[in-house]
Structure 1
């Protein structure tokens, strides 16, 4: 439970500028202190809780960072919490759902909050820390958690780290260890390298690498890691933190804000409902939050009424375990053998023939929230998203519970958002700039209405086996686009094995993807105007190019393959897809087709009026279509 929440400062957001009818907002920055009873049923599942230091009351303590944006006049807000689970300490809400800039962790100005979408709805927006190792620089959010010991003696365990340079950010100069090394003696550790996950690792001699300190190593003599190659470090780690307290901290913070009378000084008024949203790692965190029972507080009350998980696929996080590494995310090329995906995947009750287990992501004990899961095409290729709505062997579509919905936003890539570019980066094909956020915004509003008034959201929209749109990766029907790399394999999803000394799994689940139309655009899911009235082919997959491991499935990038302008250009290129001039008779014809799609999405509550108007305005100004 939360013991206290200390407000360090309250200050105006955007110099007191109004956000629609809600008016001005305030920034509230502080820290919360909590303690958990290790014997309480809701806390027994926290790994290492029995080895954590206790206070005089026999409780285990933690401290978490708090950041809140609240309406200055609470009566003008909607009285509901929108809690964003941070992603590796980062606030991503405005950069995604509000079409704002990326990397703003300390929103202060109008520019920082994009179009202000969640503020204009009147939410009290809450963030808190959950990851003890999340960077706290520039207002990053972290958790202070105790170190577990074995009756006062340090716990030491062999662990494995993996590093890849250039695929998920800039080139690496130093390898930052996930855990604290117990010894800096090189012979007690080993570093290997290989080009692909399935290759035999080659051990580097001790004279080719060295410890920098207990949390980092580097290659010697100025050597740089090869771009895209997998470096694997085996070492003895010590001083594991009680990571699972992060789940309890989220639970306790939101529960306190909802139910404790003292919270009125923080929120400004009584909270009627609480929603949560998480992007990527944070979406996987929320799936874990549900499955591990943390949506029920220590008094048995529900924490989140509704949860929106975006781009999580079937994943959870490698967190509530000794020496967990929550920053890991497994793809076809990297982090491949770390435990992220485990049955049960779906909210439907199922049996798993590979493990012999039965279950559902939901607990069925009254704590389950209303759940909306949205995914891009990438999660079907990299994160096993088809297993959300099929049986584990991919042979049957399953019926989800009434309080669960799943949607695929066709032709979008992981991390897709407004302002994304088409530069190829380390890939063969240009990246995919298609923005899925209009659908995400509409479905967040549908979740809100579902929670508050009981209005059911739109039916799930996914490719299915029944209608023939859910297929093997090599049977999508993708056209022969000249010069394009075409991916025909998915990331393998298998039962968790030994993550310290991994071996290729003997069994795997069957993961499927969406069939495409003659243009190469996905034939099912939510087809926004860019897919339904296309000017290009948009995919959720791409391939690496040299000097990266050629042919490997790109980590999180999709592809954008534009159509030829006219028939002559198409014929010269040998492109089977009709050119833009062959598709649309005029600008008016193009606008009419966009309008028909917009009207249909509006009627189905898969698009908001403000986004409908943006699509109309963009169509009227589209330079690639002849007047």
Structure 2
């Protein structure tokens, strides 16, 4: 079992798990499972909140992978102890178009601009000389995104299926801190606009949820689907809904 978040695709070239050095799709054996937790940063606690980091241009991503990881831990234990197969892999792929090159990534317009993030490239290194010389870059791909900028091709947690904003695995550095380079492992969260605006191509919150109850209901439906698919434990539903009630304060 192998898991990655969105940050691993930007910072750790996770696409190389399933693509060859010449950029071709690799098929996995039957006894391997790959899971991409879409939209999540590298690591967060259950109670993480979006906030500011001194060097980073955008607010941090509050998503926690805990609900999915807890379910996968149980699935792994059942696989080892009882030979019960875990859920099928959910990982972006070149084959179905959920894995794309950076130049094909279609990000939304936010605050009048379309972000131009960079990824942490990897090059063939020649260690026969010192310092080592840098050779050709490996082809690196990234998860495709929807109109909100939220990734396809993996396990979409309830907060990504019923989003309050854009959840990304990358953040960029501010002026004075290596502007434009990748910043930290915290990812990015940018709330949807409250009302429709020419400066933002994403649908506003007012068009998505009639009120806080409608939002919580959407999170509940998404959670029930994850439970049915084996990507969330029934015992964690209450916590996820409690957090949704807290987060509904973002609604108009």
TM-score normalised over the length of structure 1: 0.38
Is the Cα contact below 8 Å between 2:117 and 2:172 reproduced in 1? no
Partner of 1:376: 5
Distance across 1 between alignment mates of 2:210 and 2:145: 24
1:157-172 equivalences in 2 (<5 Å): none
Q: CA deviation at 1:500?
A: 8.4
Distance across 1 between alignment mates of 2:245 and 2:182: 36
Q: Does 1:447 align with 2:76?
A: yes
1:418 and 1:428, CA in 2 relative to 1: closer, same or farther beyond 3 A?
A: same
From 44, 48, 52, give the equivalent of 1:420.
Answer: 48
Q: CA deviation at 1:551?
A: 1.1
Partner of 1:402: 30
Distance across 1 between alignment mates of 2:121 and 2:109: 25
1:350-365 equivalences in 2 (<5 Å): none
- Cα deviation, 1:127-164, whole Å, max 9, x if unaligned, reads xxxxxxxxxxxxxxxxxxxxxxxxxxxxxxxxxxxxxx
Q: Which has the higher helix share?
A: 2
Q: Does 1:558 align with 2:187?
A: yes
Is the Cα contact below 8 Å between 1:487 and 1:541 reproduced in 2? no
Q: Does 1:624 align with 2:250?
A: yes
1:364-513 equivalences in 2 (<5 Å): 372-396=1-25, 398-421=26-49, 422-482=51-111, 486-498=115-127, 501-513=130-142
Distance across 2 between alignment mates of 1:557 and 1:500: 36
Distance across 2 between alignment mates of 1:500 and 1:430: 42
- Cα deviation, 1:300-328, whole Å, max 9, x if unaligned, reads xxxxxxxxxxxxxxxxxxxxxxxxxxxxx
Q: Please, what is the CA RMSD of the aligned residues?
A: 2.1
1:163-182 equivalences in 2 (<5 Å): none
1:474 and 1:611, CA in 2 relative to 1: closer, same or farther beyond 3 A?
A: farther
Q: CA deviation at 1:485?
A: 7.5
1:510 and 1:545, CA in 2 relative to 1: closer, same or farther beyond 3 A?
A: same
Is the Cα contact below 8 Å between 2:109 and 2:199 reproduced in 1? no
| Segment drifting more, 534-543 vs 386-395 | 386-395
Partner of 1:117: none
- Cα deviation, 1:60-79, whole Å, max 9, x if unaligned, reads xxxxxxxxxxxxxxxxxxxx
1:586 and 1:552, CA in 2 relative to 1: closer, same or farther beyond 3 A?
A: same
Q: CA deviation at 1:484?
A: 6.4
Q: CA deviation at 1:420?
A: 3.1
1:42-441 equivalences in 2 (<5 Å): 372-396=1-25, 398-421=26-49, 422-441=51-70
Q: Does 1:520 align with 2:149?
A: yes
Whose Rg is larger? 1
Q: Does 1:606 align with 2:231?
A: yes
Indicate the structure whose relative CO is greater, using CA pairs within 8 Å and at least 6 residues apart.
2
Q: CA deviation at 1:416?
A: 2.8
SS across alignment from 1:507: strand
Is the Cα contact below 8 Å between 1:428 and 1:485 reproduced in 2? no
Moved over 6 A (4+): none
Q: CA deviation at 1:499?
A: 9.4
Q: Which has the higher strand share?
A: 1
SS across alignment from 1:576: coil
Distance across 2 between alignment mates of 1:586 and 1:467: 35
Is the Cα contact below 8 Å between 2:53 and 2:60 reproduced in 1? yes
Distance across 2 between alignment mates of 1:498 and 1:619: 51
